[in-house]
Amino acid sequence: MARQKKWNSEAERLAAYRKRKKDEALSAVEEQQIRDSYGYAPSESRSYAERAEVAERIMAKLDPEELAWAKEMWASQARAENDRRILAPDNTLSEEQRAENAARYEAWWNSPTERAWRASHDARMRARRQP
């Protein structure tokens, strides 16, 4: 027996999902993970809900024609990305090719240049975390 649908369209389902996610309160750790993930400045202290509220106010101020244009651009980019993923060839590497690629990757990963870059990158990241 099929499960009963709660929504009349995919748009309604997405709207309900977004509202549910918006209403969920995030913990302080989750808020900080979001800030870190998106590269917010250390001085950024607004919560996800506060940033979403500001975004909604900005979107409400947009000219309806400009908003329609932006939504169409977003939709066309999403369609293009979906088409690109659908048309991408399947991975048809043989086991020998996979082993060869893995060996080349390992050689690159352990090369002196890459190791030096990783060490300097790690040092920069540690320096950023220092207060």
Residue 26 in contact with residue 47, Cβ under 8 Å?
yes
Tokens of 18: 């977004």
pLDDT tens, residue by residue, 77-127: 999 988 887 777 666 778 888 899 999 999 998 899 998 988 898 888 888
Question: What is the pTM (predicted TM-score) of this model?
Answer: 0.39
Residue 1 confidence (pLDDT) above 60: no
Tokens of 17: 């999902």
Tokens 């060869």: give the residue.
100
Quote the longest CA-to-CA distance of the chain: 61
Please indicate whether residue 76 or residue 83 has the higher confidence score (pLDDT): 76
d(CA 10, CA 16) in angstroms, rounded, equals: 10
The answer for 39, left when phi > 0, alpha when psi is -120 to 50, beta otherwise, is: left
Residue 35 in contact with residue 44, Cβ under 8 Å?
yes
Q: How far from the centroid of its chain's Cα atoms is residue 57's Cα?
A: 22
Tokens 């999403």: give the residue.
78
Q: What is the DSSP letter of 4?
A: P
User: Which amino acid is present at 65?
Assistant: E
